[in-house]
Chains A and B, each alone.
Chain A
Amino acid sequence: MYQSKKVIMVAALFTVWSQFSFAEDTTINRLLASQCAQCHGTYGMAVGEMDGLNDESYKDLVEDLNDMRGEDSLENIMDHQAMGYTQEQIERIARFYDSLKVTDLQESEDEEEQEEDK
């Protein structure tokens, strides 16, 4: 029992430490991602026919942007836009939009809250 408590504490300390030392400033991701908003809407909520980004997963967004950058011939406007960012910046942008994704769990929590409010 004592032993397992100690293991948990060490693990917890390690988690805190690793978060501290590797924590990125997420407001920088937010600033980078805000530069997509002119076309894709504030916080990725686009209006009209433009694609929104607020339901994009990290994986899909990184893949899409890298595909655009990797085109042999840059055809459309996004192929060119994607060229303006480094790999790390693309990942930061993707992490930001991924963090906005409304999960099924949250959606059902919201629905429950709305029910309670009624």
Chain B
Amino acid sequence: MTINRRKFIKNLGIASLGVASSPSSIFANTHSSKHVVVIGGGFGGATAAKYLRLWSNGDIKVTLIDPLQQHTSCVMSNLVLNERQKLKNLRLYYETLKQKYGVEHLKDKVLDIDSYAQKIDLKHGESISYDKLIISTGIGFKKVSGHDFRKVPHAWIAGSQTNILKNQLAEMEAGDTFVMSIPKSPYRCPPGPYERACVVADMLKRRGGGNVIVLDANEGIQAEKHTFSKAFNGIYSNIIDYHTNVKINEVDSNAREVYTSDGTFEADVLNIIPNQKANRLLKTASLTDGDWAPVDPISYESTIFSNVHIIGDAQATNQPKSAHMANSQAKVCADAIVRSLYNLSIYSFERLENITTNSACYSPITYNEASWLTANFAYDGVSSMKLKHIGEAKEWSRENYKEMYAWANNLFFDSFY
């Protein structure tokens, strides 16, 4: 269905914020002096760029900076491991954001940010200035001694890492041992590592059996506890050996061995997912306090520097680090930026009462069955987001597995297309 253009203008853009704009300016070249730069074209950054253009009726100039032509989605990437999904189908190109919404894509890497001068330094191009800056550059890793990512992949940023792990797994035979670690919370995608353990256990089961040793840095399962306990102790009880409170001390990447507080583990395939922190740029730009970047969740503006907003995995709120959530935060952030660039309050009682975010996640448990998890957050009226409701699937099913594709496709579209 196409949407009536006049109605679109009436309901959706800044016209409804009382800001004049001529219909012809929509998504055409921008002449406005307002410039928002978005660093990082993943789920948070792409969504923010798109919605800034939509909600300003194309009045705000938006430059999206990412070193690649496309983002490779981590969402669904565990299914590349068992060949239920192709990595090329997870490549989400920036071209549509440009063609459809007028988002300028600058193919470059940001090296540093001067938050006083409101300028950013690029690896290749000259520095550029901004009125508002959004950063959604995701995670970085706390590397342990001896960990060579090319030999012992983390596969926690999708792309070449996913392929390395997939190729190693393809060579596994019946009776082989897969050892994986789960990082200390908070980390990207709370159910993701448990989901990966199930996917690999299912692969081994189909090849005649084997061992999956899971070394969790936490004291227990971090998400979908009901589902994963049932899977680990039920259908995979002969395969999965689950350890808690494990600290990784060192990795021998050539021998595929890991030295831990629970002893030494040898693997045919070793998958160490290191502990995490905000991507390096945030620390370089002095935007972190500890591992993550503190923000005010009514706008995602940094509590350290004004006019700099941080969304997605890198920010420090208590919300789960997921793509669905990064998309959700991007909208709250875009709304706040549109308001403040047009001198409208972001503090109205009506707005503060209605700041909500949500997250949903589907997890494959077997070759053709999945479970799900969902969570809703609302602003507490003071300074943080409060968990309002959380739910998980009662059972994994084929129906959920089918729904998982429909959900992911819509998430990809709402963020990138």
Contacts and interface: CB of A to CB of B under 8 A. Distances in A.
Partners in one complex: yes
A31 B147 CA distance: 43
Given A24-B350, A100-B11, A38 B3 contact: no
A57 interface: no
Interface string B31-62: 00000000000000000001100110000000
Interface of A: 24-28, 30-32, 34-35, 37-43, 45-50, 52, 54-55, 74-75, 77, 79-81, 83-85, 89, 92, 96, 99-100, 102, 106, 109-110
B4 A106 contact: yes
A34 B376 contact: no
A38 B7 contact: no
Q: Is the interface of B mostly helix, strand, loop or mixed?
A: helix
Interface of B: 1, 3-4, 7-8, 11-12, 16-17, 50-51, 54-55, 324, 327-328, 331-332, 335, 348, 350-351, 354-358, 360, 372, 374, 376-378, 388-391, 393-394, 402-403, 405-407, 409-411, 413-415
Q: Is the interface of A mostly helix, strand, loop or mixed?
A: helix
19 contacts: A25-B350, A25-B351, A26-B16, A31-B335, A39-B360, A41-B410, A42-B50, A49-B406, A52-B1, A79-B391, A80-B374, A80-B389, A81-B374, A81-B376, A83-B388, A84-B377, A84-B378, A85-B376, A99-B11
* 4 shortest interchain CB distances as A-B pairs: A84-B376, A80-B391, A83-B389, A37-B414
Residue with the highest number of chain B CB atoms closer than 10 Å, among A47, A74, A77, A89 = A77
Contacts of B3: 43, 45, 54, 100, 102
A102 B328 contact: no
A50 to B, nearest CB: 5
Contact of A102 (B7, B51, B402, B415): B7
A49 B388 CA distance: 28
